[in-house]
Amino acid sequence: MAIDIFIISSFLSVRRFPRLFTCLRVVGAQVSFRICPLVVLTRYHRNLGRDCGPGLFGPSGCRVTDFRQKQNAHYMGGLVSHPALVSPASAFIENVISNNCVVIFSKSSCPFCVMANRVFEELGSSYATVELDCRDDGPALQQVLIGRTGMRTVPQVFVNGNLIGGGSETKRLYAEGKLHTLVMQCAMKGASAGPEPGDS
């Protein structure tokens, strides 16, 4: 019967040389060293990819990343795509922004949100409004917006897929005549795309 014993020499070697670990292979009375397969690392020591916490096995609250993912991130410049992990809130925001020239993420009790709405009404432009305080997923949506824009306040106004700012910025762009140009660019872009196949 063969028994493999996994040996870690130091945390530094784990991070820098993930494939250069040794295993003691015990067969009867014979003991031999060999290269430890990567699957042993990932199966039994997933917390080697911890992103925080002192020591090798940090506090339970730390985010744990599969070691193979960490290695792939290194070779890909640190960019790892997880399409299966996109949250419903992220998908909703992306869909709304992609399918509307103007989107205002606001709250019903916010005076600056009312200001932004009135600007587009005066402009005669159609727009989509998402009232965060009127939705069950409002807090989740706001967290996604914070991560996307860095803004913790509302309104957050998007024109042609780009954030133009809040209520004050929207009003200023309108007064300068720039907002109309942005909206028209989006409208022309949509018109040039033409109807979808099968539309009458």
The pLDDT tens digits for 148-172 are: 999 999 999 999 999 999 999 999 9
Residue 194 has a pLDDT of: 54
* Residue 96 three-state SS: helix
Ordered strands of the 102-106 beta sheet: 128-131, 102-106, 156-159, 162-165
pLDDT at 142 over 50: yes
Q: Are 107 and 132 in contact (CB under 8 A)?
A: yes
The CATH superfamily holding the domain 88-192 is Glutaredoxin (3.40.30.10)
For 176, the token pair is 């300068």
Distance CA 155, CA 64 (A): 35
Residue 60 has a pLDDT of: 35
Q: Closest by alpha carbon to 120, among 100, 134, 135?
A: 100
Q: Are 63 and 52 in contact (CB under 8 A)?
A: yes
pLDDT in tens, 7-25: 444 333 444 444 444 444 4
pLDDT in tens, 96-138: 999 999 999 999 999 999 999 999 999 999 999 999 999 999 9
Distance CA 56, CA 68 (A): 17
Residue 79 has a pLDDT of: 44
Where along the chain do the CATH 3.40.30.10 domains lie?
A: 88-192
Mean of per-residue pLDDT scores for the chain: 70
- Of 5-14, 31-40, 44-53, where does mean pLDDT reach its minimum? 44-53
pLDDT at 4 over 60: no
Split at pLDDT 50, 70, 90, the class of 187 is: confident
